[in-house]
């Protein structure tokens, strides 16, 4: 079953409550011993130095921006540190990981995946609104996910999915029917203004949007004008009216994609004309030993193409079941020269990879405030329903 917690009160209190639900110290120790961490860290550097350095980098690069621009989320972050009995620096460091992994020069060590789906009239069978997403990241994080019902004082209630030690969220819906989720962006070092080590981690921006806004246009205005975005990010947004978009952002700029004929898919590549050449080139390869022969951008390109292909195929008849089938799909796109015979891998929408897997799958119905979640790959999981 998907882990569920409910937190309420001021933001510091909510952070403490969250931390008290989980053995965060032990979780950090387990993740630090994982294969992906052993691949990423320098070979002879002990874990305690990695944690110290991570905390120092987090404090130096995100603390001031988080305090200044999302003070409520900063309070929640501090509450998590207090409730977990860990240092504030380490908590900054844990949040900083999502900034660091967006660095074009280093991100080929870690798989920032994810696939988003949007469907609305006239593409849906019954006129409903659907927003879905597969959350792909290193498999070491799979056991440490939760659905969280936040009830902050004087702010909007929201249902989110996140990791145990994080104050923010990578997808969620609020009580007004506004839904938002993120896909990590893969940018190219040719454009250094796309990325900054300093700024607010995107999961904290997602949380701030959910607690404060009701419409897609409000969310677009807030994120596009946000003065301290760090790494590039793709924000998928949909409200209860059916206004939907993907807001493609870099550290300094943004562009907007809208559904066409009621459908849209998105992965980890820029799809707008404005940013298309900001994507990694095809000959940029992974740095992990097992994958050094593989193009870094191959997976997001193939996942996007397959998801779009299936949305087009079912356009006009799309239902919840259609979304489940697409998010659990194991085929390559029909135009791809290789055929995988339904065997899942790094390049399928439901990802079973060397560096990352589909950790969770989420489908949101904004009109009815429902969120359906699996906390593992959707191909062998039942979606559980959560609502206000």
Across the chain, mean pLDDT equals 91
pLDDT in tens, 124-163: 999 999 999 999 988 888 899 999 999 999 999 999 999 9
pLDDT in tens, 205-256: 999 999 999 999 999 999 999 999 998 999 999 999 999 999 999 999 999 9
- Going 33 to 41 to 133 to 235, the CA torsion angle's sign is positive
Q: What share of the chain is helix, strand, coil (3-state, %, to 5)?
A: 35, 25, 40
Q: What is the mean pLDDT of residues 255-276?
A: 96
Where is 118: in which H helix or E strand? strand 115-119
pLDDT tier, 29 (very low <50, low <70, confident <90, very high otherwise): confident
pLDDT of residue 40 exceeding 70: no
Which structure tokens are listed for 210?
A: 């959910």
Question: What is the number of residues in the chain?
Answer: 388
Q: Are 48 and 154 in contact (CB under 8 A)?
A: no
Q: Which of 69, 136, 154 is nearest to 362 (CA)?
A: 136
Q: Are 173 and 132 in contact (CB under 8 A)?
A: no
Q: C-alpha angle with apex 336: 334 to 337, nearest 5 degrees?
A: 120
* Whole-number pLDDT of residue 136: 93
Domains contained in the chain, CATH given: 12-100 (no CATH), 108-387 (3.60.60.10)
pLDDT in tens, 72-108: 999 999 999 999 999 999 999 999 988 887 776 665 4
* Whole-number pLDDT of residue 308: 98
Percent of the chain past pLDDT 70, that is, above it, reads 92
Q: What is the pTM of this model?
A: 0.94
pLDDT of residue 388 exceeding 80: yes
C-alpha distances in Å from residue 377, one per residue of 75, 329, 358, 383: 33, 10, 5, 10
Q: Which of 222-226, 341-345, 380-384 has the highest mean pLDDT?
A: 222-226
pLDDT of residue 110 exceeding 60: no
Which structure tokens are listed for 87?
A: 């240092």
How many Å apart are CA 275 and CA 250, to the nearest integer?
9
DSSP string, 115-176: EEEEE-TTSBSSS--EEEEEEEE-GGGGGGEEEEEEEETTS--EEEEEETT-SS-SEEEETT
Higher pLDDT pick, 223 / 287: 223
How far from each other are the two terminal CA atoms of the chain, in whole angstroms? Answer: 18
* Whole-number pLDDT of residue 189: 79
pLDDT tier, 18 (very low <50, low <70, confident <90, very high otherwise): very high
pLDDT in tens, 41-71: 667 778 788 889 889 999 999 999 999 999 9
Strand partners, 279: 187
pLDDT tier, 337 (very low <50, low <70, confident <90, very high otherwise): confident
Strand partners, 89: none
DSSP string, 1-61: ---EEEEEESHHHHHHHHHHTS-HHHHHHHHHTSHHHHHHS-TT--HHHHHHHHHHHHHHH
- Number of other residues whose CB lies within 10 A of the CB of residue 128: 17
Q: Which of 189, 232, 188, 208 is nearest to 99 (CA)?
A: 232
How many Å apart are CA 257 and CA 239, to the nearest integer?
15
Residues 6+ apart with CB under 8 A from 322: 119, 310, 314
- Going 299 to 328 to 98 to 194, the CA torsion angle's sign is positive
Residue 348 phi, psi (nearest 5): -95, 155
* Whole-number pLDDT of residue 327: 98
């Amino acid at each position: 079953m998907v882990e569920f917690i409910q937190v309420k009160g001021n933001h510091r209190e909510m952070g403490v409550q969250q931390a008290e639900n989980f053995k965060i110290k032990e979780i950090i120790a387990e993740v630090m011993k994982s294969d992906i961490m052993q691949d990423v860290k320098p070979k002879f550097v002990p874990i305690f130095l990695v944690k110290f350095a991570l905390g120092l980098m987090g404090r130096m690069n995100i603390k001031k921006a988080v305090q200044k621009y999302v003070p409520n989320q900063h309070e929640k972050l501090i509450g998590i540190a207090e409730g977990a009995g860990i240092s504030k620096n380490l908590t900054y460091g844990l949040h900083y990981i999502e900034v660091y992994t967006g660095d074009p020069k280093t991100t080929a060590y870690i798989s920032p995946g994810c696939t988003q789906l949007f469907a609305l009239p006239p593409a849906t069978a019954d006129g409903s609104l659907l927003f879905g997403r597969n959350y792909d990241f290193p498999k070491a994080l799979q056991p440490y996910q939760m659905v969280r019902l936040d009830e902050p004082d004087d702010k909007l209630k929201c249902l989110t999915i996140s990791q145990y030690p994080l104050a923010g969220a990578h997808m969620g819906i609020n009580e007004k029917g506004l839904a938002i989720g993120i896909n990590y962006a893969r940018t190219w070092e040719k454009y250094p203004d796309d990325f900054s080590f300093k700024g607010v981690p995107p999961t904290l921006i997602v949380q701030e949007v959910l607690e404060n806004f009701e419409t897609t246009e409000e969310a677009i205005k807030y994120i596009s004008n946000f003065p301290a975005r760090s790494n590039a990010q793709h924000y998928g947004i949909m409200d209860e009216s059916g206004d939907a978009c993907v807001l493609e952002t870099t550290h300094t700029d943004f562009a907007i994609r809208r559904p066409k004929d009621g459908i849209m898919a998105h992965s980890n590549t820029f799809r707008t004309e404005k940013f298309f050449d900001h994507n990694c080139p095809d000959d940029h390869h992974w740095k992990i030993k097992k994958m050094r022969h593989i193009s870094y951008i191959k997976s997001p390109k193939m996942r996007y193409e397959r998801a779009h292909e299936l949305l087009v195929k079912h356009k006009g008849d799309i239902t919840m079941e259609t979304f489940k089938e697409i998010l659990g799909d194991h085929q390559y796109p029909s135009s791809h020269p290789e055929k995988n015979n339904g065997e899942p891998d790094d390049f399928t929408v439901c990802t079973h990879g060397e560096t990352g897997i589909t950790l969770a799958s989420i489908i949101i119905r904004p009109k009815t405030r429902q969120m359906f979640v699996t906390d593992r790959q959707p191909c062998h999981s039942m979606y559980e329903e959560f609502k206000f």
